[in-house]
Amino acid sequence: MPAERVPLGRSRRTWLVISLALLAAGAALFGLVASLTVVPPGPGLAETGLPAAGTAPAAGGLAAMPSPGPGPAQLDAPVDQGTAEEHLALARRLLEENRADAAGASREGMLQAEAEVQAALRMGPADLASARRLLADVNGALASDWAAADPEKRGHLRREREALRGLLEVAPGDGLARYRYAMLLEERGPRIEELTRAARLAPRDHRPRRALGEDLLEVGREDEGARLLVEAAELCNPEELGHQGPDIVHLLRSHGREEEEARVRERMERLGY
If phi > 0 it is left, if psi is from -120 to 50 it is alpha, else beta; for residue 82 that is left
- Can you tell me the distance from the alpha carbon of 94 to that of 115, in angstroms, rounded to the nearest whole number? 11
Question: From the CB of residue 21, how many other CB atoms can be counted at a distance below 10 Å?
Answer: 10
- Can you tell me the distance from the alpha carbon of 195 to that of 238, in angstroms, rounded to the nearest whole number? 24
Per-residue confidence (pLDDT) for residue 102, from 0 to 100: 96
Question: From the CB of residue 12, how many other CB atoms can be counted at a distance below 10 Å?
Answer: 10
Residue in 224, 214, 152, 211 with CA at minimum distance from that of residue 178: 211
Per-residue confidence (pLDDT) for residue 79, from 0 to 100: 63
Per-residue confidence (pLDDT) for residue 74, from 0 to 100: 44
pLDDT in tens, the chain (273 residues): 444 444 444 444 554 445 555 555 555 555 544 444 443 444 333 333 333 333 333 333 333 333 333 333 345 556 678 999 999 999 999 999 999 999 999 999 999 999 999 999 999 999 999 999 999 999 999 999 999 889 999 999 999 999 999 999 999 999 999 999 999 999 999 999 999 999 999 999 999 999 999 999 999 999 999 999 999 999 999 999 999 999 999 999 999 999 999 999 999 999 999
Per-residue confidence (pLDDT) for residue 81, from 0 to 100: 85
**Where do the domains of the chain lie, and which CATH numbers do they carry?**
188-273 (1.25.40)
Query: Could you give the C-alpha distances from 161 to 16, 143, 168, 214, 249, in angstroms and in order?
Result: 90, 12, 11, 21, 30
Per-residue confidence (pLDDT) for residue 130, from 0 to 100: 98
Per-residue confidence (pLDDT) for residue 37, from 0 to 100: 45
Query: Could you give the C-alpha distances from 154 to 76, 111, 133, 147, 270, in angstroms and in order?
Result: 22, 15, 18, 9, 41
Per-residue confidence (pLDDT) for residue 148, from 0 to 100: 86
